[in-house]
Structure formats: structure tokens, C-alpha cells
Amino acid sequence: MSTNRIQLGAMIVLGTALMSVAGIQLTSALMIQIPNEAQWASSGHADVAAEAFNHWEGTVPVGCAKCHSTGGYIDFLGADGTEAGVVDNAPPVGSTVECIACHNAATEEKDSVVFPSGVEIAGLGASSRCMECHQGRESGESVATAIADANLPDDDTVSSALRFKNIHYMAAGATLMGAEVHGGYQYAGKSYDVRLTHVEGLATCVDCHDPHTLEIKMDACATCHELTETLGLEDIRFMGSLVDYDGDGDMQEGIAHEIEGLKEVLYSAMQAYGRAMGAPIVYDAHSYPYFFADANDNGVVDEGEGAYASFTARLLKASFNYQVSVKDAGAYAHNPKYLIQLLYDTIEDLDPAWVIGLNRNDSGHFAGSKEAFRHWDAEGRVSSSCSKCHSADGLPFLLAEGVTVSQPTSNGFKCSTCHDSVPGFTRYDVGEVVLPSGAVVVDTDEPDSNICMTCHQGRASGASVAAAVAGLDADTVISGQRFINVHYFAAAATRYGAEAGGAYEYAGKEYKGFFKHTSSLRSCTECHDAHMGDVAVQVCIKCHREIEELSAIRRTNTPDFDGDGDTTEGLGGELDTMVAALLSAMEAYAANVVGEPIAYDADSYPYFMKASGGTYNTFTPRLLEAAYNLQFVLKDPGAFTHNGRYVLQVLYDGIEDLGGDVSAMTRP
């Protein structure tokens, strides 16, 4: 055998052979019997007649050889003794992706891939050999650079300097990694899903594809998803994807069909844009360079119609993202939410009118592009203090180990976040829930609520405020005291009222405890869809027949709590008036007593600001208590129904404590 020894991982039996692999002569009295050869021979990697291996005359250019010849891949790895990371020599046309491309010492050690954007992803293991080729040849960064180099006055100026950027074919790795590698053009000010992790055991290339035949492991998919003669992979839809993305009214269709619907809208929007710019455009997925000047505007490529040459920056972005969505046929499985976000944003950028009726994001638990899951992208991991509720694996780890640790960022929850068996989909038995005040609660009637309450409890309590103001004069500024924030959606603390001590409760006052509602509607999952979080309105209207929105619900014969003379408005309306009254009382107190006017912005941390600008830092105990309670109420959007009377009590007491006028109000 030649001194060029490359590990084949093959079984060897007696025989005679002369074999050339990647240009390396293996001569021996031995015949090499290669495991899985028959499976490989049936795959696209072995198709000697394919255009992918015969596009060139004589040799494969060094810019293409890495993925279109075995010799080029070996050269790129440096397994032939040349520099790794580049192809030094153009190999002859004729080889496919042969065994030695993946089975050699250099590939076995390979663990990372540098994507076209320049981003290197490590820790890929065996998937690195797949992603080295299935990553595309351009990225969103390529598009951004081309636009910047053209130095245009705006996004709608036609420039001869702009040419279509082609991601190339089957860039599954770029799709899978999402925003981490900028496979698509990502619009400024928008957030995007990162790597799709799917479920344990089905998260890598070879988990889902046979490495030799390349076929999808359908049996693995069928473990959770119903697959029949009429229901295929394109018909799969995750329970966290119950949103009508493409606006066709069908939320039963597979996610692949939602993506197809968005692609159709995007293409129509591109054609409308080109037409409006006086340069109609047409696309042909099978003919390079794909986008053509549609001179007669008939929607097809006619003889003589050449490459499109009237790109604006806006249209270049759109054409790139459209091609991204087309050239990865499995995008709906590799990272569907990332594709949906790209398509939606591209349509919106072309003309906001085109996204009316479309949807970009999922509900909270699965809205991977929202701040609740993207806040830690710069750090790369969700901190231990936040991972319980803001990562896919934080809650299971807490339940198993009793502590929290930092966790990888995620695109929202996975099935395994709440289900301890996948498939099977049984749920974790959480048992007791300890709230920030130290109170211990447990829903014995509907244990699933305990899963919900583990996160929906806030991160501070009335006790936090009481500790900060203990022993201090109520109207003296507390040096260095910052606002104490309950955090978001502390529904459990609201619902358990005085039993949870979620709000700051004023001395000498009595407060309502747990709100039971009715015997059939007393748990989280009886009132909310377990996956989407939506309120089960159809259940509410069985009793509350005349309402148009939930905030309009009001028990009969209840007093005018907010003192505005309206005893027909819903409890939500009563609460809104008292929130406004508390904020007004705070503003008057801050200006007249503290001497530093205060302003509140519910959407901007740290929420309470100086009226002149900057973080508010002159809290007195009285003002801190009121500010905490205002935030407590506003950050639970369902407070009026979770425990309306409890929150009205704390609002009333805050207004009264600050010296506001409560003479016309009624405390529940």
C-alpha cells in the first residue's frame, strides 16, 4: 500500500485490486470491501452523472472543488499535506463525494465550520463534515457589503453596481444555524431565531439523515408526528406554531405550506415593486442567473430576456432572501421560524401593506425572536438567574437538580420544557411552588398549574419592598435606592393575593386572598390554552354572554370602585382609571414632596425615569411602595381577571397613602 496512509475505516478481505481514491493510488494484493457502499451508491453523493460533478471541463475550479470533488475536499482539509482551509490544486472532473472524503483522520478531528458570513461555529462534531458544503456560498453579510460598496443615496435607487447574490444550493447548515451565521439577509432592528435544536436525539445532520443514503429517517419522525400515505413531512406542524403565518386562514396545514404561502406573497410583492420601479422582474428557479428582466411583463422568461440588471438595494435584499427560501428544500424542517421571519420582514420592507393579515411571531412561550429569548445572544448563554424561564432546558434542569445553571440560548420552549416524556407527552410533576415572598403554594386540583406558576410568579414581592424601607422615614429619600421590579406576568402572585404577598400591602389594611372564580375554571390550563397561552374565551362567554372583550366583564351589583360614575364598565376599566390615578398621585408627590419629578415608561427599562432624563434615583419609601405596586399591576395584563379586587385594593391604598383623592372611590 502507498505510504500515503489515509484511514478508511473499512473491512479488508483478500483479493486483488487497483483502486484510485481522490487521486491517491492504493495498490495491494488486498481488495477493499467498503461498509455501506451499496447505500452510498444510491445517494446523490455518488451520482457520477449529476451536474454537480460534471459542470466543468477538465478540472473543477478551486473555488468549487471543496464540495464538488473528493480530491478538493481532501485538499481543503489539508489531509493531502497541503495547507488546510483552502484548495490549492484544481482536481480533475469525475469524482463524486467518495468514502474517503468523510472517512479520514482530518475529517474525524474536524469540529467547526466557517460560514460565508465569516462566523465560525464550533462543537459541531460529525455534522461539521456535512455543513462544510451545505452552508451556501453567500450570506446576508455579502448582500450588506455589496449595498454598502455601491454607496447609494437610498434603498430605492437603481444601481448597475448591484448584481444578484446567490446563496447557492442546499444551504441546510446556514438555515439550521439561523441568525448565528446570517444565512439570510437580516433586517436592522429585527431579531431572528438562532440554531434549531428540535428534540434530544434529533438535533444533528446524521440524527435526521442517513449519512450514506442521505435519506431522512422517517421512522424517527414518526415517533412524534403522524405520517401516512397522505400525510408527509410537509404536513408536520409543531404545537407551538399555531399561528396563521401566511394569512390564508388555515392553521391545520403543515408549516411547509405556511412557508410556501409566504414565498408566494413575497414573489408577488417583488414583482409589484419591480413594476412600480419601471423594471418588471421574473424568476426561474432552474435557470441561472435566476432573476431576469421581464421585458413584456408577462411573468415568464421569454427568449432574449436577459439577467435582471435594475436592482435597488431593497430588491437585492428581497431577491437574496427569496432564493434562500427556495434553494433549501428542507428549510421547513431545518429552521422554519427563521425562514418565516426572513420572508415576513422582506415582504414588509418591500411594502408594509403586503403584510396585513400575515403573522411573523408565535405566542410568548415559542416566540424565539422576541426579547424574552434573544436578550442573552451577545453572551451566548442565558444566565443562571434567568434560565429557569428564559431557556428551553432551564426548567427541566431545575426540577431534576433543584438549582439553576446557565443554559444555551433557545428559540423559545421545546416539548421537553414542560413534558417529561417525548413521545408520550406526560408532564412534570412539580408539586409545591415557592414564590418570591417565600410563600409556598400548590394547586392540588390541577397540578399542571404548578408548572405554569414556577415561572409566572415574578422575581420580587411586597416583602422585597418592605425590607428595603424597613425603619425609614416614609418621606425621606433613600440613598442609592433603585426601583424594585416585580418582572413580567406574575399571574400566580396576583391570583393568590394576600396568600402570596406579591404586591406591597400597607400596614393596617386587609387584602383579598386566592381568587377561586368557579369550580370548573380555577386553574391556569382551564382558562388558557396550554401551548399558545391564549385565553379560552369560548368558555368565558358561556356565562358572560354580552361581552366583546374580557376586560368588559363585571359582576352585577358591584360598586363604582374608581369613582368615575360608571357602574357598567368592566372591571378592566375600573382598574385602568385607578392605575392612572395612582400614577398622577406619584407624579404630584415626586414633584411637590421629593422635589424630583418622575416619569414612567412601561416599555423601557428601568421604567421610572427623571422627567429631565436619566434613571430615577430619589425614591422615598412611600414613592418606592407605590411605584412597585404600579408595576406589579401593569406587568400582569390579566390582573383584572386573575384577582381584580386584590389589585384594586393595593391601587386604592397607594393613592390614599400618597395623598391622592379617593373620596369618590370605593375600596373593594
> Residue 18's pLDDT is what?
31
114: Cα separation from own chain's centroid: 23
The pLDDT value given to residue 76: 97
- Give the pairing of strands 281-283 and 120-121: unpaired
pLDDT value of residue 519: 78
Reference 393, options 418, 376, 368, 369; nearest CA is 418
Task: Give the separation between CA 186 and CA 183, rounded to whole angstroms.
Answer: 8
Count of other CB atoms within 10 angstroms of residue 243:
18
Angstrom distance (rounded) from CA 104 to CA 75 = 12
Identify the DSSP state of 480. Answer: T
Which regions in the chain score pLDDT beneath 70? Answer: 1-32
> Would you state the pLDDT for residue 533?
87
Query: Given this model, what pLDDT does residue 445 score?
Result: 84
The packing angle between helices 336-350 and 255-276, to 10°, is: 20
Q: What is the DSSP letter of 186?
A: P
Question: Given this model, what pLDDT does residue 532 score?
Answer: 87
**Contacts (Cβ under 8 Å, ≥6 apart) of 83:** none
- State in Å, rounded, how far the first CA of the chain is from the last one: 92
**According to the model, what pLDDT value does residue 8 have?**
37
- Tell me, what's the pLDDT at 24? 46
Q: Which of 435, 441, 397 is nearest to 416 (CA)?
A: 397
Structure confidence by residue, pLDDT tens digits, 37-84: 999 999 999 999 999 999 999 999 999 999 999 999 999 999 999 999
pTM of the model: 0.90
> Domain limits of the chain?
11-109, 140-366, 429-657
**Residues 570-603: pLDDT tens digits?**
999 999 999 999 999 999 999 999 999 999 999 9
What per-residue confidence (pLDDT) applies to 31?
56
The residues pairing with 571 across neighbouring beta strands, listed in sequence order, are none
Return the bridge partners of 92, or none: 59
Question: What Cα–Cα distance (Å) separates residue 558 from each residue in 253, 392, 561?
Answer: 46, 43, 8
